Amino acid sequence: MIAILKYNAGNIFSVNHAVLALGHKTVVTDNPDVLLKADKVILPGVGEASSAMKYLNEHSLDVVIRSLTQPVLGICLGMQLLCTASEEGNTFCLGKFDHKVKKFPPKDLVPHTGWNSVHNLKGELFRNINPGSDFYFVHGFYAESGIQTIAETEYILPFTSAMQQDNFFGTQFHPEKSGKNGLFLLKNFLSL
């Protein structure tokens, strides 16, 4: 069973639909017991960091997420919440990735919305995906590149478009909205 975390963030329907389309059973939940027993856990994300973390903290989901030992995938805001902190609302996050989330420099081109290519691909998440493949992004905040970076993208400046630490994975882009490349990536995650 694939657990999709229900918290103070959007895009749950699209993620659920994509996972179902790949032939997996899902449950949308914020129940700690269900999350702990799931085969995989996905943190979808469209929203704002401080209100999302407030929900996780108030429901003790922060402790549950940190303790998960099965593969976990954070998408967009979900990835950012797995970092140490975010400039969005000066938020302390879950700390699974040793990255800080920063706001893009003020430009007319923020937020970063649309298709962009990913490079420097590493690891199982990108199996059968070519460097330079396009994925769909919607975000105004980014994580700098670091040791846990497994893919990078250039937009105003270079940033982490995917990261991994042990059983925790994150994508700044939305695989559920990224056509065949996104489905390949979700399939790779679900096969871990």
For residue 44, what is the domain's CATH number?
A: 3.40.50.880
State yes or no: is 76 an active-site residue: yes
Say whether pLDDT at 153 is over 90. Answer: yes
Active-site entry in 93, 99, 112, 176: 176
Q: How far apart are the first and last CA of the chain?
A: 13
Distance CA 125, CA 128 (A): 9
Bridge partner list, 116: 135
Average pLDDT, the chain: 96
Q: Count the Cβ atoms, other than its own, within 10 Å of residue 118.
A: 27
Which H or E element spans position 155? strand 149-155
State yes or no: is 174 an active-site residue: yes
State yes or no: is 154 an active-site residue: no
Count of structural domains within the chain: 1
Query: Could you tell me what percent of the chain has a pLDDT over 90?
Result: 93
Q: Which domain holds residue 116?
A: 2-190
Active-site entry in 76, 83, 112, 152: 76
- pLDDT at position 55: 96
- pLDDT at position 174: 98
Contact yes or no for 17/182 (Cβ under 8 A): no
Residue 111 phi/psi, 5-degree rounding, is -75, 160
**What ranges in 26-178 are assigned the alpha helix state H?**
32-37, 49-58, 61-67, 77-81
